[in-house]
Structure 1
Protein backbone atom coordinates (compact mmCIF):
# COMPACT_ATOMS: atom_id res chain seq x y z
CA UNK A 1 0.00 0.00 0.00
CA UNK A 2 2.85 2.32 0.82
CA UNK A 3 4.21 1.91 -2.75
CA UNK A 4 0.82 2.85 -4.23
CA UNK A 5 0.62 6.00 -2.06
CA UNK A 6 4.15 7.09 -2.99
CA UNK A 7 3.44 6.44 -6.70
CA UNK A 8 0.16 8.41 -6.54
CA UNK A 9 1.84 11.29 -4.73
CA UNK A 10 4.71 11.34 -7.25
CA UNK A 11 2.30 11.22 -10.19
CA UNK A 12 0.25 14.01 -8.65
CA UNK A 13 3.36 16.17 -8.22
CA UNK A 14 4.42 15.50 -11.81
CA UNK A 15 0.99 16.49 -13.11
CA UNK A 16 1.08 19.68 -11.04
CA UNK A 17 4.58 20.49 -12.26
CA UNK A 18 3.58 19.85 -15.89
CA UNK A 19 0.51 22.04 -15.53
CA UNK A 20 2.62 24.78 -13.95
CA UNK A 21 5.18 24.55 -16.73
CA UNK A 22 2.47 24.80 -19.39
CA UNK A 23 1.09 27.87 -17.63
CA UNK A 24 4.51 29.53 -17.41
CA UNK A 25 5.26 28.84 -21.07
CA UNK A 26 1.90 30.32 -22.03
CA UNK A 27 2.61 33.44 -19.97
CA UNK A 28 6.10 33.81 -21.43
CA UNK A 29 4.86 34.03 -25.01
CA UNK A 30 4.27 37.64 -25.99
CA UNK A 31 0.65 38.48 -26.61
CA UNK A 32 -0.11 39.34 -30.20
CA UNK A 33 -0.54 43.05 -30.39
CA UNK A 34 -3.18 44.44 -32.66
CA UNK A 35 -1.70 45.86 -35.84
CA UNK A 36 -1.20 49.60 -35.46
CA UNK A 37 -3.59 51.82 -37.37
CA UNK A 38 -2.12 53.60 -40.39
CA UNK A 39 -1.16 57.27 -40.28
CA UNK A 40 -3.79 59.81 -41.34
CA UNK A 41 -2.33 62.71 -43.34
CA UNK A 42 -4.73 65.67 -43.04
CA UNK A 43 -4.54 68.59 -45.48
CA UNK A 44 -6.34 71.64 -44.12
CA UNK A 45 -6.51 75.39 -44.41
CA UNK A 46 -4.27 76.95 -41.73
CA UNK A 47 -7.17 78.93 -40.22
CA UNK A 48 -9.69 76.08 -39.96
CA UNK A 49 -10.36 74.96 -36.38
CA UNK A 50 -12.89 72.20 -37.04
CA UNK A 51 -10.28 70.27 -39.04
CA UNK A 52 -8.10 70.12 -35.94
CA UNK A 53 -11.09 68.92 -33.92
CA UNK A 54 -11.63 66.12 -36.47
CA UNK A 55 -7.93 65.21 -36.21
CA UNK A 56 -8.37 64.99 -32.43
CA UNK A 57 -11.35 62.66 -32.99
CA UNK A 58 -9.16 60.42 -35.16
CA UNK A 59 -6.35 60.43 -32.58
CA UNK A 60 -8.82 59.49 -29.84
CA UNK A 61 -9.79 56.49 -32.00
CA UNK A 62 -6.14 55.36 -32.14
CA UNK A 63 -4.97 56.79 -35.46
CA UNK A 64 -1.64 58.60 -35.66
CA UNK A 65 -2.37 61.93 -37.38
CA UNK A 66 -0.20 64.48 -39.16
CA UNK A 67 -1.64 67.89 -40.04
CA UNK A 68 -0.49 69.77 -43.14
CA UNK A 69 -1.46 73.43 -43.49
CA UNK A 70 -2.17 74.17 -47.15
CA UNK A 71 -3.91 77.10 -48.78
CA UNK A 72 -6.15 74.94 -50.96
CA UNK A 73 -6.92 71.45 -49.59
CA UNK A 74 -9.19 70.84 -52.58
CA UNK A 75 -6.10 70.36 -54.75
CA UNK A 76 -5.25 67.22 -52.75
CA UNK A 77 -8.81 65.93 -53.14
CA UNK A 78 -8.73 66.46 -56.90
CA UNK A 79 -5.22 65.03 -57.25
CA UNK A 80 -6.47 61.77 -55.69
CA UNK A 81 -9.60 61.48 -57.84
CA UNK A 82 -12.40 62.66 -55.56
CA UNK A 83 -14.90 64.91 -57.42
CA UNK A 84 -15.62 68.43 -56.18
CA UNK A 85 -19.25 67.63 -55.31
CA UNK A 86 -17.93 65.75 -52.24
CA UNK A 87 -15.91 68.75 -51.02
CA UNK A 88 -15.55 69.62 -47.36
CA UNK A 89 -13.04 71.70 -45.41
CA UNK A 90 -10.21 69.15 -45.28
CA UNK A 91 -8.91 66.13 -47.17
CA UNK A 92 -7.13 63.23 -45.52
CA UNK A 93 -5.16 60.37 -46.99
CA UNK A 94 -5.01 57.05 -45.16
CA UNK A 95 -3.57 53.78 -46.45
CA UNK A 96 -4.39 54.45 -50.10
CA UNK A 97 -7.82 56.02 -49.53
CA UNK A 98 -9.10 59.59 -49.56
CA UNK A 99 -11.18 60.62 -46.56
CA UNK A 100 -12.98 63.87 -47.28
CA UNK A 101 -14.51 65.90 -44.50
CA UNK A 102 -15.86 64.92 -41.10
CA UNK A 103 -16.03 61.13 -41.55
CA UNK A 104 -16.40 59.24 -38.23
CA UNK A 105 -13.32 57.21 -37.25
CA UNK A 106 -15.47 54.08 -36.98
CA UNK A 107 -16.26 54.32 -40.70
CA UNK A 108 -12.58 54.76 -41.59
CA UNK A 109 -11.77 51.66 -39.56
CA UNK A 110 -14.53 49.73 -41.33
CA UNK A 111 -13.20 50.93 -44.70
CA UNK A 112 -9.69 49.74 -43.84
CA UNK A 113 -10.98 46.39 -42.59
CA UNK A 114 -13.11 45.67 -45.67
CA UNK A 115 -10.79 47.26 -48.30
CA UNK A 116 -13.42 47.96 -51.00
CA UNK A 117 -12.34 49.09 -54.45
CA UNK A 118 -12.96 52.80 -54.04
CA UNK A 119 -11.35 56.21 -53.98
CA UNK A 120 -12.52 56.65 -50.41
CA UNK A 121 -15.14 58.06 -48.07
CA UNK A 122 -16.71 61.51 -47.98
CA UNK A 123 -18.97 63.58 -45.80
CA UNK A 124 -19.67 66.56 -48.06
CA UNK A 125 -19.98 70.05 -46.59
CA UNK A 126 -19.73 70.36 -42.82
CA UNK A 127 -22.73 68.75 -41.09
CA UNK A 128 -23.23 70.13 -37.55
CA UNK A 129 -23.41 66.71 -35.84
CA UNK A 130 -20.36 65.14 -37.47
CA UNK A 131 -17.04 64.56 -35.63
CA UNK A 132 -15.23 67.85 -35.24
CA UNK A 133 -18.43 69.79 -35.91
CA UNK A 134 -20.17 68.68 -32.74
CA UNK A 135 -22.96 71.00 -31.64
CA UNK A 136 -24.31 70.20 -28.16
CA UNK A 137 -27.93 69.14 -28.27
CA UNK A 138 -28.05 68.65 -32.04
CA UNK A 139 -28.29 65.38 -33.91
CA UNK A 140 -28.52 66.56 -37.51
CA UNK A 141 -28.68 63.70 -40.00
CA UNK A 142 -25.88 63.21 -42.49
CA UNK A 143 -24.52 60.45 -44.71
CA UNK A 144 -21.07 59.02 -45.30
CA UNK A 145 -20.54 58.16 -48.96
CA UNK A 146 -18.26 55.54 -50.47
CA UNK A 147 -16.97 56.97 -53.75
CA UNK A 148 -15.69 54.77 -56.57
CA UNK A 149 -13.13 55.57 -59.26
CA UNK A 150 -15.88 56.77 -61.64
CA UNK A 151 -17.10 59.28 -59.04
CA UNK A 152 -20.25 57.32 -58.20
CA UNK A 153 -21.32 57.24 -54.59
CA UNK A 154 -23.17 54.77 -52.45
CA UNK A 155 -24.32 55.42 -48.91
CA UNK A 156 -21.74 53.80 -46.63
CA UNK A 157 -23.39 54.92 -43.37
CA UNK A 158 -26.15 57.20 -42.12
CA UNK A 159 -25.98 59.28 -38.95
CA UNK A 160 -27.23 59.61 -36.35
CA UNK A 161 -27.41 55.85 -36.00
CA UNK A 162 -31.05 54.97 -35.25
CA UNK A 163 -31.64 53.81 -31.71
CA UNK A 164 -33.01 50.28 -31.41
CA UNK A 165 -35.24 48.89 -28.72
CA UNK A 166 -37.48 50.83 -26.44
Structure 2
Protein backbone atom coordinates (compact mmCIF):
# COMPACT_ATOMS: atom_id res chain seq x y z
CA UNK A 1 0.00 0.00 0.00
CA UNK A 2 2.81 2.40 0.86
CA UNK A 3 4.37 1.85 -2.60
CA UNK A 4 1.13 2.83 -4.34
CA UNK A 5 0.74 5.99 -2.28
CA UNK A 6 4.37 6.94 -2.98
CA UNK A 7 3.85 6.32 -6.70
CA UNK A 8 0.74 8.56 -6.72
CA UNK A 9 2.65 11.38 -5.03
CA UNK A 10 5.52 10.93 -7.48
CA UNK A 11 3.12 11.16 -10.45
CA UNK A 12 1.39 14.20 -8.96
CA UNK A 13 4.80 15.87 -8.61
CA UNK A 14 5.64 15.06 -12.23
CA UNK A 15 2.40 16.64 -13.47
CA UNK A 16 3.18 19.75 -11.44
CA UNK A 17 6.65 19.93 -12.97
CA UNK A 18 5.46 19.41 -16.55
CA UNK A 19 2.74 22.08 -16.59
CA UNK A 20 4.99 25.12 -16.00
CA UNK A 21 7.47 23.79 -18.56
CA UNK A 22 4.82 23.81 -21.30
CA UNK A 23 3.78 27.34 -20.31
CA UNK A 24 7.43 28.41 -20.35
CA UNK A 25 7.84 27.02 -23.87
CA UNK A 26 4.92 29.17 -25.03
CA UNK A 27 6.80 32.20 -23.64
CA UNK A 28 10.09 31.25 -25.30
CA UNK A 29 11.15 33.61 -28.05
CA UNK A 30 14.03 33.29 -30.50
CA UNK A 31 15.34 36.69 -31.59
CA UNK A 32 17.35 36.99 -34.80
CA UNK A 33 19.41 40.17 -34.72
CA UNK A 34 22.69 41.76 -35.69
CA UNK A 35 25.41 41.31 -33.05
CA UNK A 36 26.16 45.05 -33.25
CA UNK A 37 22.66 46.48 -32.88
CA UNK A 38 22.23 48.24 -29.55
CA UNK A 39 18.50 48.95 -29.95
CA UNK A 40 17.85 45.24 -30.62
CA UNK A 41 19.74 44.41 -27.44
CA UNK A 42 17.64 46.89 -25.41
CA UNK A 43 14.40 45.45 -26.88
CA UNK A 44 15.55 41.89 -26.13
CA UNK A 45 16.44 42.78 -22.52
CA UNK A 46 13.04 44.45 -21.99
CA UNK A 47 11.20 41.38 -23.35
CA UNK A 48 13.25 39.14 -21.08
CA UNK A 49 12.58 41.40 -18.06
CA UNK A 50 8.84 41.07 -18.82
CA UNK A 51 9.05 37.32 -18.21
CA UNK A 52 9.72 35.90 -21.65
CA UNK A 53 12.58 33.45 -22.14
CA UNK A 54 14.75 34.83 -24.92
CA UNK A 55 17.17 32.90 -27.10
CA UNK A 56 19.35 35.22 -29.19
CA UNK A 57 20.67 34.23 -32.60
CA UNK A 58 23.15 36.86 -33.76
CA UNK A 59 23.47 37.05 -37.56
CA UNK A 60 25.25 39.49 -39.83
CA UNK A 61 22.59 39.22 -42.54
CA UNK A 62 18.92 38.76 -41.60
CA UNK A 63 17.53 38.80 -45.14
CA UNK A 64 17.12 35.00 -45.31
CA UNK A 65 15.21 34.98 -42.00
CA UNK A 66 12.90 37.78 -43.17
CA UNK A 67 12.36 36.06 -46.51
CA UNK A 68 11.62 32.71 -44.82
CA UNK A 69 9.16 34.43 -42.46
CA UNK A 70 7.51 36.24 -45.37
CA UNK A 71 7.97 39.73 -43.92
CA UNK A 72 6.87 42.25 -46.59
CA UNK A 73 9.56 44.79 -47.48
CA UNK A 74 7.51 47.70 -46.10
CA UNK A 75 7.07 45.90 -42.73
CA UNK A 76 10.72 45.06 -42.12
CA UNK A 77 12.74 46.33 -39.18
CA UNK A 78 16.10 45.57 -37.58
CA UNK A 79 15.27 42.27 -35.84
CA UNK A 80 12.89 39.33 -36.26
CA UNK A 81 11.62 37.05 -33.50
CA UNK A 82 9.61 33.85 -33.40
CA UNK A 83 7.52 32.86 -30.37
CA UNK A 84 5.31 29.95 -29.42
CA UNK A 85 5.37 26.21 -29.38
CA UNK A 86 2.13 24.82 -30.80
CA UNK A 87 1.32 27.98 -32.74
CA UNK A 88 4.34 30.00 -33.82
CA UNK A 89 4.11 33.74 -34.37
CA UNK A 90 6.52 36.20 -35.96
CA UNK A 91 7.41 39.43 -34.16
CA UNK A 92 9.10 41.93 -36.46
CA UNK A 93 10.84 44.99 -35.08
CA UNK A 94 10.27 47.14 -32.02
CA UNK A 95 6.90 45.65 -31.06
CA UNK A 96 5.72 46.81 -27.62
CA UNK A 97 5.13 44.32 -24.82
CA UNK A 98 1.38 44.99 -24.74
CA UNK A 99 1.06 43.92 -28.38
CA UNK A 100 3.02 40.71 -27.74
CA UNK A 101 0.89 39.94 -24.67
CA UNK A 102 -2.30 40.65 -26.62
CA UNK A 103 -1.28 38.36 -29.47
CA UNK A 104 -0.25 35.55 -27.15
CA UNK A 105 -3.44 35.76 -25.07
CA UNK A 106 -5.89 36.13 -27.98
CA UNK A 107 -4.11 33.73 -30.38
CA UNK A 108 -5.49 35.35 -33.56
CA UNK A 109 -5.31 33.65 -36.96
CA UNK A 110 -2.35 35.71 -38.18
CA UNK A 111 1.31 34.94 -38.89
CA UNK A 112 2.52 37.61 -36.53
CA UNK A 113 2.87 41.31 -35.76
CA UNK A 114 5.26 44.02 -36.95
CA UNK A 115 6.41 47.55 -36.25
CA UNK A 116 8.10 48.65 -39.48
CA UNK A 117 11.28 50.67 -39.34
CA UNK A 118 12.56 51.99 -36.06
CA UNK A 119 10.01 54.48 -34.67
CA UNK A 120 11.38 56.92 -32.13
CA UNK A 121 9.91 56.23 -28.69
CA UNK A 122 9.24 52.54 -29.39
CA UNK A 123 10.63 49.84 -27.10
CA UNK A 124 14.39 49.87 -27.70
CA UNK A 125 14.32 53.27 -29.39
CA UNK A 126 14.33 55.63 -26.41
CA UNK A 127 11.14 54.10 -25.03
CA UNK A 128 8.39 56.66 -24.45
CA UNK A 129 4.98 55.23 -23.45
CA UNK A 130 3.25 58.20 -25.10
CA UNK A 131 4.96 57.65 -28.48
CA UNK A 132 2.45 57.05 -31.27
CA UNK A 133 3.01 54.35 -33.87
CA UNK A 134 1.08 51.40 -35.26
CA UNK A 135 1.66 47.70 -34.74
CA UNK A 136 0.48 45.76 -37.81
CA UNK A 137 -0.78 42.20 -38.05
CA UNK A 138 0.71 40.00 -40.74
CA UNK A 139 -2.14 38.06 -42.34
CA UNK A 140 -2.38 34.30 -42.19
CA UNK A 141 -1.17 34.14 -45.80
CA UNK A 142 1.67 36.11 -47.33
CA UNK A 143 -0.66 37.63 -49.92
CA UNK A 144 -2.80 39.40 -47.31
CA UNK A 145 -2.18 43.09 -46.72
CA UNK A 146 -0.94 43.92 -43.19
CA UNK A 147 -3.64 45.54 -41.03
CA UNK A 148 -3.47 47.63 -37.86
CA UNK A 149 -3.31 45.41 -34.76
CA UNK A 150 -2.68 48.00 -32.04
CA UNK A 151 -1.92 51.73 -31.95
CA UNK A 152 0.29 52.99 -29.15
CA UNK A 153 0.31 56.26 -27.27
CA UNK A 154 -3.42 56.87 -27.22
TM-score where L is the length of structure 2:
0.76
Go from structure 1 to structure 2 and tell me whether the alpha carbon gap of 1:112 and 1:135 turns closer, same or farther (over 3 Å shift). closer
Q: How far does residue 35 in structure 1 lie from its aligned partner after superposition?
A: 3.3
Determine the structure 1 residue equivalent to 2:101. Answer: 109
Unaligned runs of 5+ in 1: 1-29
2:115 paired residue among 103, 110, 123: 123
Structure 2 alignment gaps of length 5 or more = 1-15
- What is the CA deviation profile of residues 79-101 of structure 1, one whole-angstrom value per residue up to 9, with x for unaligned ones? 01221210100000111111000
Give the Cα–Cα distance (whole angstroms) in 1 for the partners of residues 144 and 54 of structure 2.
Answer: 26
Equivalents in 2 of 1:110, 1:61: separation in Å?
Answer: 14
Separation in 2 of the partners of 1:107 and 1:141? 14
For residues 62 and 135 of structure 1, do their structure 2 counterparts lie closer, same or farther at Cα, with a shift above 3 Å needed? closer
TM-score (norm 1): 0.71
Structure number with bigger Rg: 1
**3-state DSSP of counterpart to 1:35:** helix
Q: Does 1:79 align with 2:68?
A: yes
Task: Kindly tell me the number of residue pairs found equivalent between the two proteins.
Answer: 130
* Residues 63-121 of structure 1: per-residue CA shift (max 9 Å, x gap): 00011111122321210122121010000011111100000122112111111111100
**CA-to-aligned-CA distance 1:122-141 (integer Å, 9 cap, x gap):** 000001111111256x9442
In the alignment, what sits opposite 1:155? 148
Q: In the aligned structure 2, how far is the partner of 1:121 from the partner of 1:87?
A: 11
In angstroms, what is the RMSD of aligned CA positions? Answer: 2.1
Q: What does residue 132 of structure 2 align with?
A: 141
